[in-house]
Structure 1
Amino acid sequence: MSRNHKTGAETGFWARLRDVRLWLALFLPGLAVTAGMCFVHWSQPGWLAFLDYKVYDVLLRQRPKPPLSGRVAVVDIDEKTLAEVGQWPWPRYQTALLLGRLKQYGVSAVGMDMVFSEPDQTSPERIRRQLGALGVDMGFTGLPEGLRDNDKLLADNLAGGPFVLGYFFTFDRQDSAAAREGCQLPPPRLTVRRAPGAADRPLQISQAEGAVCPLPELTASGRWAGFFNSFPDHDNIVRWVPLTIGYKGAPYPSLAAATLMRAFGDKGAVLFVEQNPYGGQDMSLRLDLGEMGMRSIPLDRHGRVLLDYRGPARTFPYISAADVMQGRVPQEALAGKIVFVGTSARGLQDVRATPLDQSCPGVEAHATVAEMVLTDRFLRHPIDGWYIELLLTGLFGLWVTVQMMFTRSLWVGASALLAGAGMWWVSAWSMNAMDFHLSPLAPLMALAVNFTLLTFLKFLLEERQKRFIQSAFGHYLSPAVVDQIVAEPDKLTLTGEEKEVSVLFSDVRGFTTISEKLSPTQVVALLHEYLTPMTRLVTEHSGTLDKFIGDAVMAFWNAPLDVPGHPREAVLTALDMLRELDRLNQGFKARYGFEISIGIGLHLGSVRVGNFGSEDLFDYTIIGDNVNLCSRLEGLTKFYHQRLLVTQAMRDAAGEGFTWQEVDRVLVKGKHEPVTIHTLRDGALEGELRDELERWAHGLSRYREGCFREALEIFEALGRAPGGDLYGLYAERCRNYIANPPGPDWVCVFEHTSK
């Protein structure tokens, strides 16, 4: 009988928890808060998303940054370039010169984070036509034909080069009306492929209404283009970028994706869609990088990738565009590189905030995507992670609720701090070691809110609780016994007393195997259905429930109060338990498809009974050799194929009215004196049962006299009787002794070497 409680006037919360109103007063609010936090995580309101962003930023800053691949560079239109070349936008021949130089350096691909959507107003031919409208006829002397139109010059440089033009999509219907007119984009170069079993339903990627495109002659020459839209979060920080956007029924690649495809010869790009276990769809962008192998870029349902920034601004090599145009850059700085042309000049306003830097050139988002693909290292926050966060939110909330119900607030606070630190460590480890973003925000909020609320409620409730002993013992003893203990509190001493008691051990056979056939919920329900009536039978027969050991029950009689005739009460309890099990098995067979069997051991002997433990925490229980013997006896029920085994002492003290059958003389593990054990047979000692037991007694006598052949004949003849398993066991012993006769010191005691 396990009871944790305090001494004196200080009352223990475990004991008072038996009060139903107190239980509900803590558990239900904790359950409600936990459910509320799960709902908040499910619905993702704006304030929670904002906090989640900040937690993600902190984790990302702590994430170790791997070395760069060295294959990505940024050609920067910086302040130095504007000072040397002139203000932006340049005449297109300057851009053509920059691209021509990059081609000479042997770059593998160039992505241009800009759009050439308007004709170059500085082209000599366009100036001549504009002046002609004013009546001025201007001619050219010595100007080559190829330099008269800057747009055509740029288009000629784009042809056959590793260049990817930029454009951007628009999403407002009114603003997109003009953008749709005459907008020509290269083929999307993306193929949608669905895994077997994936539902053929529309993708949830962003759908553009229009696009601001490069000039048609540039598109016709370049043939490669990608959008450079970015969608900052609500706090204007760029954490995700789309790698594909839908337009006119087809998915189009981003500038980074298109540049990678161009760098590796367009060996294939697939937008792969597969069904996830939660009924939704997971997407990935699969790029073939030739000798580097296939890359699968994880996308969210909107077609976005989570940016794994390699550092703050200018983490990648920045090369001034002026130095490129003037040939001042070493060949090895650009040869074979994937280059993105962007700008960091303050006046051009292409600056974004990232989790690592509040002022980062927007071109670094494209460079980061390329670096992630080349190194095959991606941050993932898939739907699995979202459900894991939801599960942890519920578990943390329920865990702190249960802790508050059973433990002092101070210890709960300490354990909650440790749990919170552990959750943060798991999130950091998941991001750093597994590249998996697992947000700790909702679980930590459930932990903190539940602890704060329940600490306040527990303080109020403990002020109102005055009962101690009734709550501590009420579920284990009859009301009369509890009343007597309350009247005589001196019984609650640590020293205990020597007393003769009847001890019962019962255990479900093969419970581990049974548990494997059931769900955890069914296992709990099965144990509840079985243990409730069994423990009720103990208390109805004036017994004391000591403890549950998994599916096992330990009980004793004659303590803390004297119970007249307690050996007989113990035997009657065992019989009632077996009858109750037969009734329960009818329901178990119908609900679970199987029956359970138990073994019961009974013994009578002297033990030490009392409260054992420390000054603050102790159990009311029994200890001693006779307790261990009873436990061993219950274990022997499997060996002898009996449901009930009792010692000679219990048989002699139980009184009249029972039909006993001697089973064996044994020496159990850990004991030095043999014990005679018996079982109980159903029915009165008459008729066939009398004849069976008389023949058994005769066979047992011949066996102990060493007449094994005569005993074998008797046991084999009895093998068809109801106790056939026991008789078969003895028949096998006889055969062994016939083949290997025992020595002269044989005392007919069977020694069991295991529990």
Structure 2
Amino acid sequence: MSFVRRGWRNVREAGPRRLALTIVLLLAALVVARFSWSMLGLSPAEAAFYDIRAYTAASRAAVDQDPRIVLVEYDDDVLSELPQRQPLDRRVLIAALRNLDTMGAKAIGLDIIFDQPQPQDEELIELLRSMKTPVRIAYLSGEVADEHIIWKQQDNLDKFMARLEGSDARPVNVLQQNSFGVTRLFPPLDDRLPPLMARSMLEAGGEGSKTMPGYTGAIRFRLGSRDGQDDTAESGKSAVSEPLYPAFPVTLFADPEIASGFTEMVQDRYVLVGSNLVDVDRVSTTLTNGTGYRPPGMWVHADMIAQMLDGAELPKPPPITLWLLAFLFVTMAILTGLLEWGSWRIYALFGAQFAIMLGIPFVLHFQGIDTYGLPAIGWLAGWIIAFTAVTSAARAAGAVQRNFAQGALGKYLPREMAKEIIDNPELLALHGEKKAIYVLFSDLEGFTKMSHAITPEMVAKLLNRYLEMLSQVVLDHGGVIDKFVGDAVVAFWGAPIAKDDDGTRAAKAGYAVWQAGEAFRAEVAAMDPNLPKIGKTRVGLHYGEAVVGNFGGDTRIQYTALGDSMNTAARLEAGNKALDSSVMASREFAERSGLDWWRPMGRIVLRGRAQPVDIMEPAPDFPVEDRKVLLQAMILSEKNNTDAVELIEKVSARHPEDAALANLLHRMRNLGEGNAYVLG
């Protein structure tokens, strides 16, 4: 659970607005997971997935031919022998009904619409009124299904039915409930229509207790164990080699001698009479995508009769169950989104959850549950929405944390370097490595003395302002702030990421730090004339090797540089006081800076050091010719220091106010061993 808690903490850190959006998306995910069957983009997918499991379940539970229902058909072979195709020849129908009436059927259903007057209507009506076998005749109402019947047809149909009133030949509803062009459900009750054909036939056959009154759930379409649903006739049309129900051409029953031989096939059966034509009244069912076969509408009535006879009223999961499942899967998505697992484990978890969401509908369907309306695709879509909402919030929190970390690092590192370290955290691993770096060491002259003369609050205010100004200079020039030591700033270039222009940046930063110190002095003087005067900022610059890295432990570390180069830079900074200068660099530093503004300032032995150091001072405004003379003097001093001093005297005379130059002249006149001046 620690993974989840850490993930939840990340989500909360995304901020209140992002958290509010996440909650809205999670509520949307819950709605999708519950009501996907009613959503435009998901309902067709739900219906298609329902058909897949309906076909799979039907294939697993194939049955033998069902003899309780007999189909008497006008097929294409029959019509090829009759004088007309539409409307269906009523002379054959009259003869067939007359013979069927003697064969003891429980009820006869005519899936034929009598909406066009024919010369044989009088004979047909007389026969229907006189039949002993209950007859149920297809009826349509333009008020409900205006796309199936026009006004004139309706008028003819109503007149035909009116003449049958008082007999046991009654109108029945043959409209089938379509969803997305596919018949899947029992039609709902409608007061504008007569009873459903299947129910009315069972009532007429003395089995009214089996009519499943009020049931509007899924039709249990079945496959026969010897169905040839995927067979193809020579004409290229889909064919069925042996249908689920016994089926015979209507002409067979029109001949009394032939019909008598089928009495046992009809007796105590439900007989449906209708068309089985290639281009008329074909219906897509839940099995159509699997079988490739669209049965005639009469077969759907047969399936509903068989389902009622079997008492197969498919139960639906109650709404509370659907809500609980929707909540469960959204919760699963939330928890999965909060997990911080490795790739293979999280993918395995994805697979397991998807298998559960897609497998539950199949299991329920195989158990005889009506899964029409079960939001299987909705569960998956809701899961995806919830998972995306949580993970995007976590990513947003990660971005916030990244920005915070980058901002925090940005107080010590240049912004682009901080970004690279965030992207590649191994750059700051807990170890040190030897690197050649450019070191800057600065100090503010007189600040310690001044701090004793003012309030602590003012000390803190001035110190923060001073360090802010110098830090900004370092970061603007791509340096790494190593540490603050009181008012001293230590920085370096070349680690953790080295750049080609590190020397140039470091040199310019050193000069800019001195300028920032001068600006700070002016700012403090303008702030309060009564404040003690602040001295200048002194800067030491050196290039050399140092061990750079994270030092400390797992609980607390410091990224710093250690080595002689750091000490040399610090002593160069301190040497500025004795040299009457502000910024001083070693020759190693100056030569690698790529700048031409340096003037040589002799060779000195720093306090506490044995080896002399050639020092250079940045002087961008110093005349180029005088800079060349100073360089010539430094070279000449190796052989003839007297002549070198004369050259420096001439340069110093041209710049009488240059204290550092006068200091150089003094030192050149008092060189020690190795042509170096030892600082006291």
The two structures have a TM-score, normalised by structure 2, of 0.48
Structure that is richer in strand per residue: 1
Larger radius of gyration between Structure 1 and Structure 2: 2
The two structures have a TM-score, normalised by structure 1, of 0.44
